[in-house]
A = this chain, B = another copy of it.
Amino acid sequence: MTTFAVIMAGGAGTRFWPLSRRLRPKQLLSLLTERSLLVETIMRIAPSTVAHNRTLIVTGTHLEQSIDALVSDLGVRVIAEPMARNTAPCLGLAAAHVAHTDPTAVMAVLPADQFIRDVDTYRRVFHQAVTLAETGRIVTLGIRPTRPETGYGYIRRGGALDPTKIAYAVDAFVEKPDASTANRYLQDGRYDWNSGMFFLRADVALEAIRTHLPKLHDGLIDYRSALGTTDEKEALVRCFEHTEATSIDYGIMEKETDRVAVIPADIGWSDVGSWYTLLEFRESGQSNFTRGDVRVTESKDSVVISDGPFVAVHGVEGLSVVATADSVLVTPVDKAQDVGAIAKHLQIERKDLA
């Protein structure tokens, strides 16, 4: 059976401002390697696991050109959503395309802006997930919590689905917890972080959409019949205009808990959620995370990045300093959650810098 990769690259995160901008969101940044998180996501499974010509990138129209430029030599396909409608319509759009080729093909649906350190283990888990998805299951990857994180959704495991305990039934998807609940989850042992990566057949996806998101389903039927005609673009606009704007988790997964399986995956996963998370990626023996033309002295637990001016940082602790040619941000790493608010302020006051 064939496997397609569907890479969701429409995100517009603001937490990496000033490196990230409206037209250069996190997935296009080279934060941890020389390649962007998007290209890392493609290359992590290519070409042996998923061929480039079975890789679809779904993004927004405002990013289509820059992503095309980034991946054009790989031969992957880029599909642009006509407007942002959360992730469920994104899944539907991809499923319509994949089903057009092979309705029973498995889709690996992957966020474009995560990082995975242990690629060998990831590829093994990837194959396990595909194999299980071929049976009609919706398979999600769970990440063993290492801290009482309040920024992620959690998955509570049920019983093992196989004697070797690779996969488990899902008791429940649970929302982002408060701090004390997150602590309880961490102790409990049955809770995994919801990685946002999941695997399902195209026909399973469309069937679930038909049941739970009927407007999206109608729009996709209309769109599929228009594929290859002059009405194709307009049909997609109609579909997105009238669809339910909801997430895959909320619109589909939580309503299909019975057929969802979770595979706990110890793969060195990070959502690369803020400057703070970059500290995890310090080179061994280094007190700080640094990138670009920077000089850091007598400092620790700090993140110093420049893709513009030379940056000298001296005598600080727990500080993030991020510089580009036109903007600099300085804030403690533990106030990283406020960066989004600063970027949003700039979207209003200083559109040139947003």
Contact = CB atoms under 8 A, between A and B. Distances in A.
Interface of A: 18, 295, 297-298, 306, 308-316, 319, 321, 323-332, 335, 338-339, 342, 346, 350, 353
Nearest to A334: B315
Given A310-B328, A310-B353, 7 more contacts: A18-B312, A310-B327, A312-B329, A313-B331, A316-B319, A316-B331, A319-B330
Contact of A314 (B297, B313, B342, B353): B342
B316 A332 contact: yes
A314 B15 CA distance: 13
A18 B338 CA distance: 28
A310 B326 CA distance: 6
14 contacts: A308-B309, A309-B325, A310-B328, A310-B353, A311-B328, A311-B330, A312-B328, A312-B346, A313-B329, A313-B331, A314-B329, A314-B331, A321-B330, A330-B330
Contact of A330 (B18, B312, B327): B312
Given A314-B335, A315-B335, A316-B330, A323 B309 contact: yes
A309 B329 CA distance: 10
B328 A315 contact: no
Contacts of A310: 326-328, 350, 353
Nearest to A323: B328
Nearest to A317: B332
A346 B309 CA distance: 14
Nearest to A352: B310
A353 B338 CA distance: 32
Contacts of A350: 310
A338 B299 CA distance: 13
A171 B231 CA distance: 97
A350 B293 CA distance: 11
A333 to B, nearest CB: 10
Given A338-B314, A342-B297, A309 B328 contact: yes
Contacts of A312: 18, 327-331, 342, 346
A346 to B, nearest CB: 8
Contacts of A309: 308-309, 323-328
Contacts of A346: 312
A328 B316 CA distance: 14
A330 to B, nearest CB: 5
A331 B296 CA distance: 10
A323 to B, nearest CB: 5
A314 B326 CA distance: 17
Contacts of A308: 309
Nearest to A315: B335
A94 to B, nearest CB: 37
B332 A315 contact: yes
Contacts of A18: 312
